[in-house]
Structure 1
Amino acid sequence: MKWVFVLLFLASAVYVHRRGRVRHRLGRQLLDHSTFMAPLNVLMYAFSRVPTTPFIDDPARHFPELEPLREQWPQIRAEALRLREMQQIKAADGYTDVGFNSFFRRGWKRFYLKWYDEAHPSAAELCPQTTALLRRIPSVKAAMFTELPPGSELRPHRDPYAGSLRLHLGLDTPNDDGCFIEVDGQRYSWRDGQWTMFDETYIHSARNDTQGNRVILFCDVERPLRFAPVRALNRFVARHLIAAGASPNQEGDRTGGINRLFKYFYAVRLRAKALRERNQSLYYGLKYASVALAVAFIVWV
Structure 2
Amino acid sequence: MTPEMEDAFAAIRDVHGTDSLRRVERMLEPGGGAPRHPLQKGARWILPGLSPTPWHDPRGHPELTPVVEAFEAAHPVIKEELAAAWAERREVFSDYEHYLTRQEDWQALYLYRGGGLVEETADTAPTAYKVLKEFAVDTEKVCPLLECHFSTLLPDAVIAPHCDLWNFSINLHLAVDIPDGCSITVAGETRSWVEGKCLLFDYSFEHEARNHGVRPRTCLLVDLWHPETTVPERRALTVLITEIRRLMGDG
Select the residue among 215, 221, 226 that pairs with 1:223: 226
**Counterparts of 1:77-92 in structure 2 under 5 Å?**
77-85=79-87, 86-87=89-90, 88-91=92-95
Q: Cα offset for 1:23?
A: 6.7
Unaligned runs of 5+ in 2: 1-25
Q: Cα offset for 1:64?
A: 2.0
Higher relative contact order (CA 8 A, sep 6+): 2
TM-score w.r.t. the length of structure 2 is 0.74
Select the residue among 155, 160, 171 that pairs with 2:176: 171
Alignment match, 1:114: 112
Count of aligned pairs between the two proteins: 213
**Counterparts of 1:8-47 in structure 2 under 5 Å?**
8-10=29-31, 12=33, 15-16=35-36, 19-20=37-38, 22=39, 29=42, 34-35=43-44, 38=45, 41-43=46-48, 46=49
Q: How large is the Cα RMSD of the aligned pairs? A: 2.8
Unaligned runs of 5+ in 1: 245-256, 260-301
Task: Kindly indicate which of the two structures has a greater share of residues assigned to strand.
Answer: 2
**Counterparts of 1:184-263 in structure 2 under 5 Å?**
184-225=187-228, 227-237=230-240, 258=250
User: Structure 1 residues 226, 126: CA separation in 2 closer, same or farther (over 3 Å shift)?
Assistant: closer
Q: Cα offset for 1:116?
A: 5.3
Counterpart Cα distance in 1 of 2:131 and 2:108:
19
Identity %: 23
Counterpart Cα distance in 2 of 1:60 and 1:71:
18
User: Structure 1 residues 68, 162: CA separation in 2 closer, same or farther (over 3 Å shift)?
Assistant: same
Quick check: which has more Rg, 1 or 2? 1
Which one-letter code corresponds to 2:65 in the other structure?
P
Which one-letter code corresponds to 1:130 in the other structure?
A
Counterpart Cα distance in 2 of 1:226 and 1:163:
7
